[in-house]
Homo-oligomer: A and B are copies of this chain.
Amino acid sequence: MDAEAFRREAHRLADWIADYLADPSRYPVLARVNPGDIRSQLPDDAPARGEPFDAILSDFERVILPGVTHWNHPGFFAYFAITASAPGILGEFLSAALNQQAMLWRTSPAATELEEVTLAWLRRLMRLPDTFDGVIYDTASISTLHALAAARERAVPGVRFGGLAAASPDGGPRYTIYGSDQTHSSIDKAVILLGFGHEALRKIPSDERFRMRAGALRDAIAADRAAGRIPLAVVATVGTTSTTSVDPLEEIAEICAREQIWLHVDAAYAGVAAMVPGHERLLDGAVHADSLVVNPHKWLFTPFDLSVLYCGHMDVLRSAFSLVPEYLATSAAGGVRNLMDTGIQLGRRFRALKLWMVLRHFGAEGLRERLAEHMRLARLFASWIDASSDFERLAPVPFSVVCFRALPHGSEPNAADAERETGLDAFNERLLEAVNGTGEVFLSHTRLNGRFAIRLAIGNLHTTEAHVARAWHLLLEHFSRAIAD
């Protein structure tokens, strides 16, 4: 495809995407295909000869598109609702064309330095201290993995060379890591991957508002020390995945400082809220953290993927990972950072470009307004739940996620009858399926204190009050149908 053919196809695709973005709600939000439907429509082998791009695009529309769950749909309320904003999409388009591989400064000075600049912008927007240096990874799973790898590097003598077995000559899982029972599964995976074993992870009970109990953390650390184990890291969460609860950062930071334990803050979703008036103090406790992850691809309108790790000890992270084979050695150019030194991935995409475009397009005020609006919509929805005798809210709403359930037949909230609870779980699961079956909205669920909770998350730029009201209307409508059955 020469440049003129590319121009023609790119214009065609630009129109297709513009039409798509004009109204993604013409599609069912949750893909209506059965397992194997996409696969079975495609041949077993790549074509022998090249095919024209319009044939490919036409197959895309016919075969692939029906299998797309529309994360862009304004009725997407599941998981964490996210947005590929227009400037972010354009940034990705440009980044794909430039095809930068920013492993070394010289292989992309632009990507390397724009990453520094945009991460400093974001850091200041989030009111984080200047002592945090930042690096872009793909996902929070990888950011957290690196944070815990750095914690291991600092705490375990010689781990880089001798490994964990040599560091624990008497056997047994000597090092321990702490999260709450609401901590994200990526912490579990990182602990396993790093060779600590899942048993090294302590899940500290959370309180009635799903926040880690600092006292229980203190006790667990003391018990581990008494048993000869070495507490290595605590992961505190600002915006847990189920309820977006916020762990008591300042208390946890105090414990970690006293005990000299690495404090990693998982603010992947909610960290950006620190830029919103009324939430300025959200990350105050993070001043004393060793690292913090925030995902602009979650709630900052940046196309997936882009996760940021801020770290107060980037030298430790580098010493855990820096390895320079000769084919990547560059002559000593004072003061350049080579992104490959900050992690497991040698190759780095030019992700900063889309973030830069998003931050400039919206501006600080524009970002604040939109985040505030999402929080207003969530509070509004929560107020409808609270005002209804047929529903109950199951968690506070600090940001833009509401957890709730239906209470058919005038069930009393918090009744202890196990059978009734099982019935309620099943009822809510059916209700959720029915509502999602409309194709107009997609909500997900979680379990809170063992109970099935429906979860509505607001994070899409195109979600308006009308969409939230529509979700509420559908819940009421299917609730009535379900109790009539």
Query: Given contacts A68-B110, A190-B344, are A97 and B17 in contact (CB under 8 A)?
Result: yes
Chain B residues near A164 (CB-CB < 8 A): 163-165, 195-197
- Is B138 touching A39 in the complex (CB atoms < 8 A)? no
Q: Give Cα distance in the complex from A324 to B9, angstroms.
A: 41
Q: Mark A129-165, 1 if CB is under 8 A from B, else 0.
A: 0000000001111100100010010000011111111
Structural contact, A198 and B165, CB atoms closer than 8 A: no
Question: Is A384 positioned at the interface, with any CB of B under 8 Å from its CB?
Answer: no
Residues of chain B lying within 8 A (CB to CB) of residue A19: 3
Asked whether any CB of chain B lies closer than 8 Å to the CB of A485, the reply is no
Q: Name the distance in Å between A418's Cβ and chain B's nearest Cβ.
A: 18
Give 5 CB contacts A-B under 8 Å.
Answer: A3-B22, A4-B22, A163-B173, A163-B195, A166-B172
Contact residues, A94-141 vs B (CB, 8 A):
94-101, 105-110, 113-114, 116-117, 120-122, 124-125, 138-141
- Beyond known contacts A89-B97, A165-B165: 18 more, CB 8 A cutoff: A30-B106, A37-B113, A38-B113, A56-B87, A64-B353, A69-B108, A71-B99, A78-B107, A82-B99, A162-B172, A163-B197, A163-B200, A164-B197, A165-B175, A166-B172, A186-B344, A193-B344, A326-B445
- What residue of chain B has the Cβ atom nearest to residue A50's Cβ? B363
- Contact residue range for chain A? 35 or more
- Nearest-neighbour CB distance to chain B for A187, whole angstroms, equals 10
The answer to whether B173 touches A171 (Cβ under 8 A) is no
B106 touches A96 (CB 8 A): no
Q: Are A18 and B38 in contact (CB under 8 A)?
A: no
Is the Cβ of A366 less than 8 Å from the Cβ of B49? yes
A148 to chain B, nearest CB (A): 10
A39 touches B113 (CB 8 A): yes
Flag whether A44 is at the interface (Cβ < 8 A): yes
A141-B346 in contact (CB<8A): yes
Q: How far is the CA of A351 from the CA of B98 in the complex (A)?
A: 17
Nearest B residue to A183 by beta-carbon distance?
B325
A10 at interface by CB-CB < 8 Å: yes
Compute how far the CA of A39 lies from the CA of B109 in the bound complex, rounded to whole angstroms: 9
Mask, A318-355, CB within 8 Å of B = 1, is: 00110111111001011110000000111101000110
Note all chain B residues with C-beta closer than 8 A to A97: 17, 20-21, 72, 84, 89
> CA–CA, A326 to B96, complex, Å?
35
With both beta carbons as reference points, the residue of chain B lying nearest to A84 in the complex is identified as B99
**A359 interfacial by beta-carbon distance below 8 Å:** yes
> Within residues 1 to 59 of chain A, which ones have a CB less than 8 A from any CB in chain B?
1-7, 9-11, 13-23, 30-31, 33, 35-39, 42, 44-51, 53, 55-56
* Contact assessment for A320 and B165 in the assembled complex, using a CB-CB cutoff below 8 Å: no
Contacts of A245 in B (CB 8 A): none
A20 to B6: give the CA distance in the assembly, Å: 11
Partner among B46, B334, B347, B366 whose Cβ is within 8 Å of the Cβ of A363: B46
Chain B nearest Cβ from A93, distance in angstroms: 4
Contact status A6-B86, CB under 8 Å: yes
The answer to the question of A440 belonging to the interface, with a C-beta cut-off of 8 Å to chain B, is no
The interface residues of chain B lying within 8 Å CB-to-CB of A13 are 14, 90, 93-94
Q: Is the CB of B18 within 8 A of A7?
A: yes
**Which of B1, B113, B327 is A86 in contact with, Cβ under 8 Å?**
B1
* B173 & A349 in contact (Cβ 8 Å cutoff): no
Chain B residues with Cβ below 8 Å from A114 are 38, 42, 64, 67
A167 in contact (CB, < 8 A): yes
Q: Which of A3, A88, A152, A433 has the most CB of B within 10 A?
A: A3
Q: Which residue of B lies closest to A335 (CB)?
A: B35
**Residues on B with beta carbons closer than 8 Å to the beta carbon of A346:** 139-141, 185-186, 189
Q: Is A389 an interface residue (CB 8 A)?
A: no
Q: How far is the CA of A327 from the CA of B455 in the complex (A)?
A: 9
Name the one of B22, B46, B106, B304 contacting A99, with C-beta atoms under 8 angstroms.
B304
Q: What B residues does A95 contact at CB under 8 A? A: 92
**A214 on interface, CB distance cutoff 8 Å:** no
Tell me, in angstroms, the Cα distance from A79 to B108 when the chains sit together. 13
